[in-house]
Amino acid sequence: MRPVSSALLALSLAFVACSSGSDGDVDEPRPTTIEVSAEAFLGAFTCESLGLDTYVVTLEDTEPEEVNDAGVSVVPELRSSPPTLCERTAVFGEVRPDFGIRAGRQYRVLVDGYDQAELTPAEPGSPLLNDTDGARVEPAWQWTCPALRAEFRQTRRATRCTPLVPIEPSAPSVTE
């Protein structure tokens, strides 16, 4: 074997040895994320028993605003989750330095719940939703969750959310 090839082979093996987990798979860097699932806010209810079809999560950055030397905010822009089916989880991540959550910052979690499934955001990233006819739809329920600090390469999950008003299941439809 030629000396250059031997050196490259040794370097490659060293890289694999340093980046492999105990099962031999290469470890991928974990993203920084905040997750919100219905279990965090439904309490004793289920999606079905409450009549919840869709929810939207909005994160509010609770840290002081940071500005650069030009006086421009350097806090990343946050958007609300898209309408999320009750059985699914809404996930926020660190997308770019100017967009998404940022490790080390703290976020308050707000949840709007809807008893309809076919809803679309009024604008991309907006917590305001419209029905299929374009009419604005108000949330049937709202919750707030304790603030979470986004930790570098960790997943934080919302828990112990409380309703902003007492929760009542949707009234069943009456047909004659």
* pLDDT tens-digit series, residues 15-56: 333 334 445 566 677 899 999 999 999 999 999 999 999 999
Domain boundary assignment for the chain:
34-163
Distance of alpha carbon 130 from its chain centroid, rounded? 21
> With 60 as the cut, is the pLDDT of residue 80 above it?
yes
Contacts of 133 (CB under 8 A, 6+ apart): none
pTM here is 0.75
Q: What is the mean pLDDT of residues 53-69?
A: 89
Can you name the residues that pair with 141 across neighbouring β-strands? 113
> With 80 as the cut, is the pLDDT of residue 174 above it?
no
CB atoms within 10 A of CB 122: 14
First to last CA, the chain: 87
State which H helix or E strand residue 146 sits in: strand 141-149
> With 80 as the cut, is the pLDDT of residue 3 above it?
no
Distance CA(68)–CA(10), nearest Å, equals 45
